[in-house]
Structure 1
Amino acid sequence: MVKTLSTFALVLAIGGSALAQEYVKGEVTKVDVKQKKLTIKHEPLTNLDMPAMTMVFVVSEPSLLEKVKSGQAIEFTADRVNGRITVTGIK
């Protein structure tokens, strides 16, 4: 019973953190389709404990690259995926 409750609590904690992800404002400074990367000048990423900066991100889905171009203002989400900071959503 304790093991079951512990597992359930872990699932809720993981799921809750994914749901709590907020979109952050940024500006695309470079799109690298070949490498599947975006360079974004962004506001602080609180979920990753990162200050505002310009950095290169990989994208979780190559189709995200089709939504943006250099100089475009965006709102995006990012998270650690397989140890890499990754753009997971763009609107």
Structure 2
Amino acid sequence: MKLGSTATLIAALSFSAVAFAQSVDMGSMKMQDKGMNCMDMKDMKGMDMQGMDAKKCSEMMKGMDKKGTSKAAKSKPHETDAVVKSIDAAQGKVTLAHDPVKSLDWPAMTMGFAIKDKALFDKLAVGSKVHVKFVKEGDGYVVTSVK
């Protein structure tokens, strides 16, 4: 009888210790495997999760892809004014110093874009001011229109 109680107690304590150890470092835990499609949990060690609302998180992530990019951001065209900093027609890319992009909540910055149609290069010259429309494609953004 004593041996059975001791074994049960040891098993219960072992299970509790394993559960606690897993909850401390959620660094690589993917919530999709646990019935939640929230996000990759890496880099969240030490984060205060007390006020986290799993339902709100799950609802928010319904509009995101696996990389956390808004599905609307992918399909919706965005636009901004910019100054052409460099052109690489051979690679199909342009670097733009653009104004804030309200539809993406981006500040002004300088970044590279792919060009959808090579004919758009005729409208680009280093130092020129342009108005561009662009969309999210894959891991980057592609300019679809230049004025």
TM-score (norm 2): 0.45
Distance 1:86 1:46 in 2: 17
Shift of 1:51: 1.7
- Matched pairs, number: 74
Partner of 1:70: 126
Partner of 1:81: 137
Partner of 2:90: 34
Partner of 2:100: 44
Residue deviations 1:16-46 (CA, integer Å, cap 9, x gap): x74xx46411000101110010000001122
CA RMSD of aligned residues (A): 1.8
Partner of 2:12: none
Distance 1:71 1:41 in 2: 10
TM-score (norm 1): 0.70
Partner of 1:55: 111
Between the aligned residues of both structures, percent identity stands at: 30
Distance 2:78 2:139 in 1: 20
- Quick one: which amino acid aligns to residue 136 of structure 2? R
Distance 2:101 2:82 in 1: 10
Q: Any gaps of 5 or more consecutive residues in structure 1?
A: 1-13
Greater strand share, structure number: 1
Partner of 1:90: 146
- Which residues of 2 match residues 5-20 of structure 1 at below 5 A? 18=76
Q: Any gaps of 5 or more consecutive residues in structure 2?
A: 1-71
- Structure number with bigger Rg: 2
Of the two structures, which has the highest relative contact order with CA contacts closer than 8 Å and spacing of 6 or more? 1
Aligned residue for 1:69, secondary structure, equals: coil
